[in-house]
Chains A and B, each alone.
Chain A
């Protein structure tokens, strides 16, 4: 574990050096990220110009969801995107074996080698959105609420990683599936909406089959001082189970990999 933490720290340091080498890119892509975030906030601003609350959720509460959504963008696009995108490419080009011969856990190497700092502003602005929403709603979370919220955020990140990595392993069976890496980030459309907004079949799916809507709602509910322990348990279960499954599925999928002289 210590070895891998040390390695991850090295990967991040290398990514910092790279980001500093291409300062212009960093600035431009940071601006793009900020632009998208502002647009999201504009949407909710316009929505709440016309309604007071939605399904019992007030503007500050919905803004809290957006804050966590923005922070998770760092996990999606910063920590994972470059790595996930590279998996089908390596399979198709046959360069995967270069990774596979390295004396290190292959899943770890394929998942965390690259880190992009372009989305760092998302995390910072997400944090500001959370603070702004708490002030706006005059919500004072308890230290316990904050701690549990951070824990839920970490568990949510593990679930997102495991789900995405498992999806990417499907690429081992296809010659070309260029947009596979877009599928899991596409699901973020669902987690920017509070879980209680979903009703009927969708609620069932997003609770017991693919609990993606819980990744933002559970941390927010802790901050709001109304912990949803069942949802927290479901999210934790899925995070652990999907992480275990991703490891098994990767080892299974890799048996379908073949390449000649990369």
Chain B
């Protein structure tokens, strides 16, 4: 690919990103409401754990403040790496409106991933508000940020790309399966259980935590939080990042396979 083409590609996707930002600003009331709704489970979780630690002490190696910090940090990472475009696109598949996207000289998959990134960016800005409130309420619970924590950023980037791949897999199924929306719930369920957002792996029985460790969902929540806490350091971070890249490539391969196979079966009339 020559320089000119690279520049053109960057310009193209930057334009999509910029449009996404403008859209997000335009629909700021919705964005604010989403952030409020997203923060509700966090507040409920904090309440449960505050009560569980009423008598102090540690549970599964966590103190009260460490566990609250776990959920707050995890909430931020989760918000940064979420992908939700499949719900709207599934509706477009059912109505046939997706055809207008498919005939454009632009990759729909890349368009969706780039556009969602702009929403993530804006959502992260809004998500800061409940985090500030919680951090203010529970002073000195968040571990200090160090330069080494910059290593979390590439992990989060690939976690986001993997989330987008799951969304694209659900979307691929939408071409052949009318109730593909149910698979979206399956994605959320697996993510909730195995990412560490339901409960840290240390609270799980060994067999369950071993499964969670093997699966790719941890890169979005549990792993970045552990790096932030300093529980995973040095070469282990690189090892985990390597694992994440492998997962990413495997999932990308299967998603492309699924997309190409199912897209061939899709038909739409009109629009």
Contact = CB atoms under 8 A, between A and B. Distances in A.
Interface residues of A, number: 36
A193 B185 contact: no
B43 A189 contact: yes
Contact of B36 (A25, A43, A183): A183
Given A54-B51, A176-B27, A180-B33, A35 B40 contact: no
Interface string B31-51: 001101100110110011011
B108 interface: no
Contacts of B135: none
A39 B194 CA distance: 11
Nearest to B180: A28
Contacts of A29: 179, 182
Specify the main secondary structure of chain B where it touches its partner: helix
Given A39-B193, A47-B199, A54 B48 contact: yes
Contacts of A177: 29-30, 33
A183 B44 CA distance: 15
A99 interface: no
A39 B198 contact: yes
Specify the main secondary structure of chain A where it touches its partner: helix
A186 B37 contact: yes
Interface of A: 24-25, 28-29, 31-32, 35-36, 39, 42-43, 46-47, 49-51, 54-55, 174, 176-180, 182-183, 186-187, 189-190, 192-193, 197-199, 202
Q: Which 6 A-B pairs have the closest CB atoms?
A: A186-B37, A55-B51, A189-B40, A189-B44, A197-B51, A32-B185
22 contacts: A25-B178, A29-B179, A31-B182, A35-B189, A36-B189, A42-B193, A43-B198, A47-B48, A47-B199, A49-B205, A50-B59, A50-B60, A55-B51, A178-B27, A178-B30, A179-B37, A182-B33, A189-B40, A189-B44, A190-B43, A197-B47, A202-B43
